[in-house]
Structure 1
Amino acid sequence: MSGPSEAETFAGMGVTPFFIQRLGERQIAVPTEIQRLVIPELAAGRDVLFSSATGTGKTFAYLVPILQRLAENPRSGQGPEVLVCAPTYELCSQIKKESDFLLNGTGIKTGLLIGSANTGRQIETLKKDKPRIVVGNPGRILQLARMGKLKLRGVVCFIMDEADRLVADELCGEVSELAGLLPKERITAACSATIPQKARDRLLPFFTAPPLEKETSRQEIVREYIEHWAFFSEGRKKIDTLRSLLSAVKPRKALVFIDDTSKIGTVVSKLQHHGVAAGGLYGGMDRKDRKQTMDDFRKGSIQVLVTSDLSARGLDIPGITHIIALDVPRTAEAYIHRAGRTARAGKKGIMATIGDELELPRLASLEKKMGIVVFPKVLYKGQVCFPDSPEEERPPENSRHPGSKDGKKRRPPQDSAGKA
């Protein structure tokens, strides 16, 4: 099998040896599909609106060409030249970390402006470091700009990460005001795992010219690399079903989604009571506690992290083997956001949904819309089985691909709680 053509390599796209070496330190030698689509366009100074599944390299797709432009050109003014806006503290921190990594050795600084940090300290850091790239939440960036502490007239590139979230009702006003403070002559880029039509319509006015629109085959990742399971459970038994499922599959790292954030603590407590190394992530969480929980999950002292769609936005945790949903998502976009947390870098993963008699028909509708196959499953004698074939499933690493001949769908299972 032949390797990528010259045009499909980082060097072929004009990435300099310095940044190729930096990427190599992360064992990134070949660009992903979205990186091949986006890097040349941003390097040429064109506006881009792009979407790709979680874990496909979107952050480096915009950081590499933009930071390379900074490194190749002397500073043009006093304030930042690149502004990256993201909706959550966690995502902003991750973007800054990646920027610092890529810029190591250049002397170029990245500033972090998030609402949970001390404003006075942030102002002092801006004065001291004079960052050429600033990453932050729209609210804090706006606050410092209004105070005259953050000069935006020198911004030559504006990037919106998790853009669909940034133009949701609660943030769209701030982002719009922020964009109005920026120079009209600039590069603009926006990205997310999915960009629904409503979000696209709201994003287009932020571009000073019609953007190039790039989209990878995220459905292929959801179809080809993730095996989808469905378990029936009455609502009151869902936590028991979850516990039995965790006992059966013994995940290295599992991310559990629940719509009702008020129940996250209850789920975590019940899992911990039964000896499961679990933690929770929810809105309004103390910043220090949130960071500790994330660190524990990354290093494996917490194996199961319970969260909501909003709190999980922007999370970049490698090695997640199982996604478990205690509710059926309302849209295909929400399902993809959840499922995309696993099956990264070409690895396989499991997406399991636990639903009741009202929810599972909605899952069937999503199944058809996304072109995936969802396998009904039951828990029997501590194993994950087909409903009419109570035999042990092979581990996820060796499980049959969803499209295999013996993977035909069968009737929805009966309540699977309490069988493990």
Structure 2
Amino acid sequence: MNNIKFEDLGLKEGLLKAIKDMGFEEPSQIQAESIPIALQGFDIIGQAQTGTGKTAAFGCAIINNMTPNRKLPKALILAPTRELAIQVNEELVRLGKHERLSVLPIYGGQPIDRQFRALKQGVDIVVGTPGRILDHIRRGSLKLDEIEFLVLDEADEMLNMGFIEDIEEIVKSMKSERQTLLFSATMPKEIKNLAQRYMKKDLQHISIKKNSLTVSKISQYYFEIKHKDRFETLCRIIDFDEPNAAIIFCKTKKGVDELVEAMQSRGYVVEGMHGDMTQNHRMMTLKKFKEGNLDFLVATDVAARGIDVEGVTHVINYDLPQDNESYVHRIGRTGRANREGIAYSLVTPREYISLKQIQKATKSTIHRKAVPTADEIFETKFKNIINDVKETIEEEDFANFVPIATELDEEYNLVDVAAALMKMLFDKQTSFDYSQNSLETPASAEVRLFLSIGRRDGITPKTLVNFIKNTARVGSNQIGDIDLLENFCFVNVAEDAYARIMDNCSGQKLNRRKINIEVAKQKR
């Protein structure tokens, strides 16, 4: 992309400030290519894989060109699932924080009377699933007379989920003088026909080539955590693994600074790199890391580009990256020169969707790993101290210290002396004060899953339970309450079974219907 920056795309100051606040350093390829064209008012078909930054691509264009009035909505964004609608809504709120925009998510499973009230008060942008949007249109609570921007996000997924007729009915209910932005990973015939019928003749087609993302020699794991436990989890991982050299990635420059400060306060030998640092500063930091004078380097994606350091044993994603390609670039910093490498990612339940997208794009398996307990960390440290002492004794390179030991022997028992010295060494090597053996359980005893299949597909609770049991090999006691609705359903499953259910059941067919499964927002 020739190092294009957001400042080069023609966006207004408030939007650029919001982007900076979010920590984005430079646009992804789909953002760099589509935003300038969208700002000119062209309809766009954007063909790019999931996880390439499409939300910011259409979000920046809409927010930049919109004149908010908080009456009738000016923009409508359709997404295939409630989880994606929530995700898009949250990103638009962050992008529009300096523009006084009102953004409303609308999806099934949420009290409809609350949506009625919000629509009546006035809103600028509506983000929703086709079924619930159509429901509001038919009830007269959502009027599309003033829509200037229409976005079809993940259009091929909406097609797979049977929403094509709903989408057509929605599009027919709004004026033709609008800008339409359609984003899809693939371009099946039905999507092309939809574009031909409802988009302008001079529409621009932007296709981002699907790169081959390979991560063959790197062992990949993730730790499921609560956000508040992120730093302690990192400390536990590096105290247990004791990597020779590790690069830790943060999403933002502010995140790098805060993490470096926190790690340094715990005694780790660490420095940071990001785009606000001078080139000379970055080169000096990298030199120290290459020469082994730093154990850890904390960096953003942009600052770490092109880093080639032999001997990096671990890459740790303290924050998941903005897109799938960045994940591959990150973990490629380890496993160099045919050596094996380890990549860890810290993931909250809400981020699990992004992790699944990364797995799908890279065609790799990212295994779940338990956060080390305090006992496991202590045991590792004890073994390493014993091995170090044995090696020093066998090398017989301690003659200068014999007089000190002899002097201490006159006053103390040498076993006590050895134990005291080991304690001093142990305290020096263990940076975090672990107050309990294990972190708290990262989520409630059950996880609520969203499945894109419902009563209209001939599904009953019994057939659904049997499908999950047989496909994921889980017991019926691990499947809890089922909320079966017309077009989709929610299933509560045991926390220790949900990852297996998502891995084995998502993408499979039940009653000839392909099922998409995602972690749902917990019921309140």
TM-score when normalising by structure 2: 0.45
Match of 1:56 among 38, 52, 58: 52
Q: Distance in 2 between matches of 1:270 and 1:169?
A: 26
Deviation at 1:118, TM superposition (A): 2.1
What residue in structure 1 maps to residue 124 of structure 2? 132
DSSP 3-state at the match of 1:144: helix
Q: 1:194 aligns with which of 186, 193, 203?
A: 186
Q: How does 1:110-125 map to 2 (within 5 A)?
A: 110-125=103-118
1:67 to partner: Cα distance: 1.2
Alpha-carbon contact 1:115-1:140 (below 8 Å) kept = yes
CA contact (8 A) 1:279 1:302 kept: no
- TM-score, structure 1 normalization: 0.56
The DSSP-based 3-state class of the residue aligned with 1:164 is helix
1:78 Cα deviation after fit: 2.9
**Counterparts in 2 of 1:169 and 1:112: CA distance versus 1, 3 Å:** closer
More RCO (CA 8 Å, sep 6+): 1
Seen in structure 2, the aligned counterparts of structure 1 residues 99 and 29 have a Cα distance that, compared at 3 Å, is same
Shift of 1:137: 1.6
For the residue of structure 2 that corresponds to 1:170, the secondary structure is coil
| Aligned residue runs from structure 1 range 141-156, under 5 A | 141-156=133-148
CA distance in structure 2 between the aligned counterparts of 1:166 and 1:192, rounded to whole angstroms: 10
Q: Per-residue displacement from partner, 1:351-390 (whole Å, max 9, x unpaired)?
A: xxxxxxxxxxxxxxxxxxxxxxxxxxxxxxxxxxxxxxxx
Which runs of 5 or more residues in structure 1 are unaligned? 230-247, 317-420
Measured on the aligned residues, the alpha-carbon RMSD in Å equals 4.1
- Identify which of 187, 198, 212 aligns with 1:206: 198
Runs (4 or more) in structure 1 with deviation over 6 Å come to 291-294, 313-316
| Structure 2 spans left out of the alignment, 5+ residues | 219-364, 371-450, 454-462, 508-513
Whether contact under 8 Å (1:48, 1:214) holds in the other structure is yes
Q: Quick check: 2:483–2:490 contact (8 Å CA) kept in 1?
A: no
The Cα of 1:41 is off from its aligned counterpart by: 1.1
The answer to whether the aligner puts 1:19 opposite 2:8 as a matched pair is: no
> Could you tell me whether the CA contact under 8 Å between 1:160 and 1:189 is conserved in 2?
yes
Q: Which whole-Å CA distance do the structure 1 matches of 2:491 and 2:467 have between them?
A: 21
Structure 1 pair 305/37, CA: closer, same or farther in 2 (3 Å)? farther
Q: Which amino acid aligns with 2:467?
A: K
Q: What residue is the counterpart of 2:301 in the other structure?
A: none
Aligned to 2:375: none
In the alignment, is residue 99 of structure 1 matched against residue 96 of structure 2?
Answer: no
Instruction: Pick closer, same or farther for the CA change 1:270–1:58 going to 2, 3 Å.
Output: same
Tell me the distance in 1 between the aligned counterparts of 2:491 and 2:20.
28
Cα shift at 1:208: 3.4
- The separation in 2 between residues aligned to 1:19 and 1:292, in whole angstroms, is 39
Partner SS state of residue 51, structure 2:
coil
- What code does the residue aligned with 2:182 have? A
Question: Which secondary structure does the structure 1 equivalent of 2:22 belong to?
Answer: coil
How far apart are 1:160 and its partner, in Å? 0.4
- Give the match for residue 366 of structure 1: none
Greater C-alpha radius of gyration: 2
Identify if the C-alpha distance between structure 1 residues 18 and 304 changes in structure 2 by more than 3 Å, giving closer, same or farther. Answer: farther
- What is the aligned partner in structure 2 of residue 36 from structure 1? 32
Cα distance, 1:50 vs structure 2: 1.0
What is the alpha-carbon distance in structure 1 between the residues aligned to residue 517 and residue 499 of structure 2? 19
Residues of 1 paired with 2:34 and 2:479: CA distance?
Answer: 36
| 1:243-296 deviation digits (Å, cap 9, x = unpaired) | xxxxx974459xxx9x997533455564999xxxx999x99589xx969889x8
Write the distance in 2 (CA, Å) between the matches of 1:112 and 1:176: 20
The CA deviation at 1:90 is: 1.3
In the alignment, does 2:71 pair up with 1:78? yes
Out of 153, 161, 181, the position equivalent to 2:153 is 161
Deviations 1:305-336 (A, max 9, x none): 614136547889xxxxxxxxxxxxxxxxxxxx
In the other structure, the counterpart of 1:264 is 468
User: Which structure shows the bigger proportion of residues in helix conformation?
Assistant: 2
| 2:213 aligned residue | 224
- State the percentage of identical aligned residues: 23
Q: Which secondary structure does the structure 1 equivalent of 2:71 belong to? A: coil
Contact 1:185–1:208, Cα closer than 8 Å, also in 2: no
Asked if the contact 1:110/1:133 (under 8 Å) is kept, the reply is yes
- The SS at the match of 2:31 is helix
CA distance in 1, matches of 2:193, 2:119: 34
**How many residues align structurally?**
274
**Residue 214 and residue 125 in structure 1: after superposition, are their counterparts in 2 closer, same or farther (change >3 A)?**
same
Residues 383-398 of structure 1 aligned to structure 2 (within 5 Å)? none
How far residue 197 of structure 1 moved from its aligned partner, in angstroms, is: 3.4
Per-residue deviation, 1:159: 0.5
CA distance in 2, matches of 1:64, 1:293: 38
Larger deviation, residues 147-156 vs 200-209: 200-209
